[in-house]
């Protein structure tokens, strides 16, 4: 059994960042895009906690708590905006939201 080191966590975090970014750029449904953004924020959290453990310091974990709180606030506001849009347009697909363009 290999011990789990910081590098393993960084690899996991980089993978999540990649999956999240591809998700934001390619998916049509705005709900999935929101989930992909949450995925990137969690990649950040894994990074922060891994570095915090490596350095035996608590700062990274405190930062991660702030990130979690922020993710919740963002999700609440994001879903609120999406519901307001859905009431007027009856769609949650990114490519059908196209009133504003030149």
* Residue among 1 and 90 whose Cβ is closer to another protein: 90
Which 8-state DSSP code applies to residue 100? S
Q: How far apart are CA 34 and CA 1, in angstroms?
A: 37
Q: How far apart are CA 4 and CA 18, in angstroms?
A: 21
User: Containing H/E element for 35?
Assistant: helix 30-55
Residues engaged in binding another protein (CB under 8 A): 10, 13, 17, 20, 24, 30, 33-34, 37, 40-41, 43-44, 47-48, 50-51, 54-55, 57, 59-60, 62-63, 66-67, 70, 73-74, 77-78, 80-82, 84-85, 88-89, 97, 99-102
Q: How far is the CB of 1 from another protein (least distance, A)?
A: 25
């Amino acid at each position: 059994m290999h011990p789990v080191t910081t590098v393993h966590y960084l690899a996991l975090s980089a993978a999540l960042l990649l999956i999240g970014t591809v998700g934001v750029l390619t998916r049509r449904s705005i709900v999935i895009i929101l989930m992909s953004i949450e995925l990137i924020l969690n990649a950040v959290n894994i990074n922060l906690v891994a570095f915090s453990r490596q350095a035996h310091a608590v700062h990274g974990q405190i930062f991660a708590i702030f990130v979690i709180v922020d993710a919740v606030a963002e999700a609440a506001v994001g879903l609120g905006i999406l519901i307001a849009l859905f009431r007027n347009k009856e769609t949650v697909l990114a490519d059908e939201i196209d009133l504003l363009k030149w």
